[in-house]
Amino acid sequence: MSYKCSRCKRDVELDAYGGVRCPYCGHRVLLKERSRDVKEVDVQ
Partner 1 sequence: MATDFDVEFIEDTEREARFLVRGITPAFANGIRRAILADVPTLSIDTVRFVENSSVLFDEVLALRMGLVPLTTPEGEFDEDDTVTLAIDVEGPATAYSGDLVSPDPQVEPADENIPLIELKDGQRLEAEAEAKLGRGRDHAKFQGGVAVGYRHLQHVEVGDDASEYGEDEAQIVRGVIEDGDELVATSEFGHDLTNRYPGKEVTVEDVPNAFVFHVESDGSMPVDELVLRAVDTLSTRADELREKVSL
Residues making up the binding site for Zn(2+): 8, 22, 25
**13 vs 40, which CB is nearer to partner 1?**
40
CB of 12 to partner 1, least distance (A): 20
Q: Around Cβ 5, how many Cβ atoms within 10 Å?
A: 20
Strand ordering across the sheet containing 30-32: 11-12, 3-5, 30-32
Could you say which residues in the range 11-40 bind partner 1, by CB under 8 A? 34, 38-40
Q: Would you tell me which residues interact with partner 1 (CB under 8 A)?
A: 34, 38-44
